[in-house]
């Protein structure tokens, strides 16, 4: 039988509806405990229902955390690859600008010397 904490709520409602004069000995004990705000009628500690529910929730959280860590690792790897590609493109751009600059200087020198010859 499953031990569900909600059953205590239903039991209290049942006792209220039944009426004090119709209660059995155990029901009367529980009712007097409830009426005086005592919790002696409620089991102390965790139940298998609560423990299994908490255990399942912890497992689900652990699985989600593992998935999140893998996701973050994938993003980190992708960002590193993007950084490498960006650096490579920057290096190519500098090489291209350097080659272009060198070509312009040579062309300018050639024109200057041509102008000087005339």
Q: Name the band, by pLDDT with cuts 50, 70 and 90, for residue 90.
A: very high
Q: What is the pLDDT of residue 116?
A: 44
The stretch 89-105 carries a mean pLDDT of 82
Q: Under 8 Å CB-to-CB from 41, ≥6 apart: which residues?
A: 29, 30, 33, 34
Q: What is the pLDDT of residue 20?
A: 82
**Smallest Cα–Cα separation from 47: which of 113, 3, 106, 100?**
3
The stretch 92-97 carries a mean pLDDT of 88
- Both tokens of 64, joined, read 């989600």
Residue 45 phi/psi, 5° resolution?
Answer: 95, -175
Tokens 């994938």, located at residue: 74
On the question of pLDDT at 32 being above 70, the answer is yes
The stretch 7-30 carries a mean pLDDT of 88
Q: What is the pLDDT of residue 111?
A: 56
The stretch 72-81 carries a mean pLDDT of 89
**Smallest Cα–Cα separation from 28: which of 117, 48, 36, 52?**
36
CA angle 27, 29, 34 (to 5 degrees): 90
Of the chain, the end-to-end C-alpha distance in Å amounts to 111
Contact in structure between 63 and 44 (CB atoms under 8 Å)? no
On the question of pLDDT at 41 being above 50, the answer is yes
């Amino acid at each position: 039988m499953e031990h569900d904490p909600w059953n205590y709520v239903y039991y209290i409602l049942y006792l209220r509806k039944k009426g004090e004069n119709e209660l059995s000995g155990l029901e009367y004990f529980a009712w007097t405990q409830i009426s005086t705000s005592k919790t002696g009628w409620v089991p102390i500690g965790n139940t298998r229902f609560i423990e299994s529910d908490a255990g399942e929730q912890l497992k689900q959280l652990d699985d989600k955390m593992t998935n999140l860590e893998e996701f973050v690792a994938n993003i980190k790897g992708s960002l590193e690859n993007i950084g490498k590609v960006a650096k490579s493109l920057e290096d190519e751009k500098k090489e291209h600008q350097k080659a272009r600059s060198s070509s312009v200087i040579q062309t300018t020198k050639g024109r200057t010397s041509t102008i000087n010859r005339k």
